[in-house]
A and B are shown apart, each in its own frame.
Chain A
Amino acid sequence: MAVEKTLTQTNPGKGLWLNLIWRYKFALLILVFLLIFPYFASLYHLRLLTEVFIFTVFAISYNLLLGYTGIVSLGHALFFGLGGYLGGLLMLEVGLPFLLVIPVILVVSVVLSVIIGFLTLRVKAIFFAVFTLAIAELFWIVSERWSGMTGGSDGMSLAALDFPEIFGLELFGRGMEVYYFTLIVMVLVYLFFSRFVSSPAGRVLEAIRENETRTQVLGYSVLKFKIVVITISGILATLSGFFYALTMRFLHTSYLAVDTTLDVLLMTVIGGMGTLPGPFAGALIVKLLGRVMSSITEHWLLIFGILYVLIVLFMPEGLVPGVKEQAARLRAVGNKLFKVRG
């Protein structure tokens, strides 16, 4: 809606572009910073940001469920791990090329989403939460026990893989290549996500979050919309898992573990449920703070847990809207001061 407003307010032409740039000034500033970052950063920091980009995609997929539709999944790691394991193993064991692996894992992900959706979304919302938790646990247990195939808790290296090349660039090559590739993926997913949630379908999702019964009565098939959204979310999560495995050059059962779901849940809630920049902010905060705090104390998850509980209690919109609100308040105070002086 925000975009449409500017369209009607300004004449097309020069003014429009300036207006758009002004409106998205923060996003553009961040993007420019991220684009030039590799030229002065160490490999360690590039690596860290690459992880943040991938987890942003994962968090976007979760935000779509939790923030926009109000569906709680406790087994989102299932799709992340599915992308990692199925994709990684198809490349390593079967030798399928990268571009063929993607459609295969996406089809599997869609089938899984639809089955889970039909089984659980017809009844109370909590069935979905419990069922996804149970299925993800099941896959995790299988991956731990079936170590001949998955490497078990020792993990499995993908270092032997030849990584896909496009125009002579190795997509997952060390350092800059993988950095830029995942950055592009993140920006594309972000654009898709911001268009999708402001589309008519996205509006219906928000309506479902606010009042499911009323949405149903208005004639929207809530079940269909929900199944579509868990499918899209599953696809994004599967892709992020696959890219994560290729970036790490490693498969590990922790991809499927409940900790991965908790991570993405923390990112979404801390960044701000139902906001566009929330997933990126959340992924950045959780990854950065996680690195910093884990070097200080072994029990950093405790601090995260407490922070998280406090956010749910006192700042349920998350940090991004919370900070925005504070900024607006400061600005209002500033304006008042000016008025008094003038």
Chain B
Amino acid sequence: MSLPLFLSLFLDGISLAMLFFLIAAGFSLIFGLMSVLNLAHASFFLWGTYVGREVFLLTGSFLLGILAAVITGLVMGLLVEYFTIRPVYGKHLFQILMTVGLLLVFEELVKLIWGSTVLNFPRPEFLAESIDIMGRLFPVYRLFIIVMGVAVFLIVYLILNRSKIGITVRAGVEDDEMVQALGIDVRKVFSGVFALGAGLAALGGVIGGPFLGAYPDIGFEMLVPALIVVIIGGLGSFPGSFVGAIIIGLSQSFGGYFIPEVAMALNVSIMALVLLIKPTGLFGIEGGH
């Protein structure tokens, strides 16, 4: 394998990893904090893509598109948490059933509004160029995804580790009853993290749009690798979802380059291996929920 090809696949894998990360991070935090398995999380990504595209095409401003997508994610997150997750807190079975239903409803709504066909999601003009990396053309847009992903990781990481809210959230992941006993309203923290996670997924959806296109299955297609990421990284671990995403992103791009079918098999094998050796995931906390 030549060096330029390697580099190009590597960058491809990392940009894909950033999208996985944006879904997996919220998913993992939501599970860690309130042990809610939210399969509808992928719907936030899906809606981020479509709303972002719509606003981008209407206004011509990609930044406005991103903003609209993130707001959509936040609002959806708040509504979903309030109306459908609260009634089933603590009941794992019903959470899974409920969120599977929501996944179905949100996907069908997209089909109802925008149709089932693949829609073109153009790259914003200022990112439409390609640059030459040792003789291979590489779209600047993918570098933009990488920059965005790393920036989000750093910001959220700093918030989680350096701010009071972040400490509360991390404490909640460890032991929510203790946090409650200390006089902090854990419910509010739950809602906030749920909305934030949804916003991150929607951000992933809109910046992933020009890379992956807009079609109704995209949410579910991203959900499966994102879930694998969460398991590899360790449920509830934020850095874990970043590292897991990079592993799966690279496995997807390198595996997919040689034999497309192998990519998924590789991902599943990595997951099986991690489950075999360290069932709690690479960064998982022993015990927990």
Question: Which A residues form the contact surface with B (CB < 8 A)?
Answer: 66, 70, 72, 74, 119-120, 122-127, 129-131, 133-135, 137-138, 141-142, 145-146, 258, 262, 265, 269, 299, 301-302, 304-306, 308-309, 312-313, 316
Contact = CB atoms under 8 A, between A and B. Distances in A.
Nearest to A133: B224
B71 to A, nearest CB: 24
B96 A119 contact: no
A313 B98 contact: yes
A299 B224 contact: no
B104 A304 contact: yes
Contacts, number: 99
A119 B272 contact: yes
B267 A262 contact: no
Nearest to B271: A134
24 contacts: A66-B93, A74-B96, A74-B100, A119-B272, A120-B275, A124-B235, A124-B289, A126-B96, A130-B230, A131-B231, A133-B224, A133-B227, A134-B224, A138-B264, A138-B268, A142-B265, A258-B220, A265-B100, A299-B111, A302-B104, A305-B102, A305-B104, A313-B84, A313-B87
B261 A146 contact: yes
Interface of B: 31, 37, 39, 84, 87-88, 92-94, 96-98, 100-102, 104-105, 108-109, 111-112, 220, 224, 227-228, 230-231, 235, 260-261, 264-265, 267-268, 271-272, 275-276, 279-280, 289
A127 B275 contact: yes
Given A129-B96, A269-B97, A309 B84 contact: yes
Contact of A126 (B37, B94, B260): B37
A141 B275 contact: no
A131 B273 CA distance: 12
Nearest to B31: A126
A282 to B, nearest CB: 13
B275 A131 contact: yes
B115 to A, nearest CB: 10
B275 A123 contact: yes
4 shortest A-B CB distances, which residue pairs? Answer: A302-B108, A305-B104, A305-B105, A309-B101
B264 A137 contact: yes
A308 B267 contact: no
Given A123-B280, A127-B231, A145 B101 contact: no
A316 B93 CA distance: 11
Contact of B276 (A119, A138, A145, A308): A119
A269 B102 CA distance: 14
Nearest to B92: A125
Contact of B261 (A66, A72, A124, A141): A141
Nearest to A115: B272
Contact of A138 (B84, B112, B220, B265): B265
A312 B97 contact: yes
Given A72-B93, A120-B275, A304-B104, A130 B264 contact: no
Given A127-B275, A145-B260, A302 B220 contact: no
A312 B235 CA distance: 25
B104 A123 contact: no
B275 A265 contact: no
Contacts of B109: 302
Contacts of A126: 31, 37, 92, 96, 235
B232 to A, nearest CB: 11
A70 B93 contact: yes
A254 B260 CA distance: 20
B37 A312 contact: no
A262 B231 CA distance: 22
B96 A123 contact: no
A305 B272 contact: no
A119 B279 CA distance: 9
Contacts of A308: 101, 104
A120 B273 CA distance: 11
Contacts of B260: 145
A141 B109 CA distance: 25
Given A120-B275, A304-B104, 16 more contacts: A74-B96, A74-B100, A119-B276, A127-B279, A131-B271, A134-B264, A134-B271, A137-B224, A138-B264, A138-B265, A141-B261, A302-B111, A309-B84, A312-B88, A313-B84, A313-B87
Nearest to B105: A305
Contacts of A299: 108, 111-112
A224 to B, nearest CB: 18
Most chain A C-beta atoms within 10 Å of own C-beta, residue among B98, B227, B280: B227
A235 B92 CA distance: 26
